[in-house]
Copies of this chain bind each other. A is one copy, B any other.
């Protein structure tokens, strides 16, 4: 039995449910999905500020995951908040959904486009595309201008806006693959894929299959240097619970 902890970095439980379903839909028969969200942090992540704060909750969740026994982690926010810190904390592998989606998309064609929620988050997407090395494959950065929680509160309107943006992206840039830029879009992936007649990638599904594969291969994050276990450190003030002894 493989246990994968899928962490929704924001604190909105309904979004954690969406993520859980997307994860379970692609997990192998011998894989157990633990979908969860932290008890602290922003209700949605739509700015660099939100993302910096969300990283804290992600670390709390990885700490818990390690105590419960976890083979690998998926960070289910498209900014991959706290990824490198989580890789230090976890004994197995950790994959962010932007990272996962980029890898999956690049296996299916020459080019992909990101279609996300708010345009102000596209800067973070550019940073990640560069850091992970997909700057030649990613040919468009687009936003449907629906806020994250709007995906939940008005799913029909959100779907229409997202579809329209995907269609205009295809018309303008003709990417081989579309990458959805928010975990909250996971439930719309299949329908978009069928409508657009080209692969559409939800990073939650991509992340679960990648982590599952790494676990089957018996490998995890390299622990020989940068990602070696986080050393002991006193943390003060409000964050004192994060002290590592």
Interface set of A (CB-CB < 8 Å, partner B)? 11, 26-30, 38-44, 46-53, 55-57, 59, 82, 84-85, 87-89, 93, 95, 99, 103-104, 106-110, 119-120, 122-124, 126-127, 130-137, 174, 176-177, 190, 193, 197-202, 205-206, 209-210, 212-214, 216-228, 230-231, 233-242, 244
Distance of A229 from chain B, by nearest CB (Å): 9
Contact A28 B26 (CB under 8 A): no
Task: Known A50-B233, A242-B53; judge A199-B222 contact (CB<8 A).
Answer: yes
Contacts of A135 in B (CB 8 A): 133
Minimum distance in angstroms from A91 CB to a CB of chain B: 13
Smallest distance from the beta carbon of A64 to chain B beta carbons, Å?
A: 14
**Which of B28, B41, B237 is in CB contact (< 8 Å) with A28?**
B28
Q: How many monomers of this chain does the complex have?
A: 6
Residue numbers in B under 8 Å from A103 (CB-CB): 103, 106-107
A-B contact pairs, 29 of them (CB 8 A): A40-B235, A40-B238, A42-B233, A42-B234, A42-B235, A49-B89, A50-B233, A51-B85, A52-B55, A52-B56, A53-B56, A53-B59, A56-B238, A84-B124, A104-B214, A104-B217, A104-B219, A107-B214, A109-B221, A123-B226, A133-B133, A177-B222, A193-B219, A197-B224, A199-B220, A200-B219, A209-B213, A213-B213, A238-B239
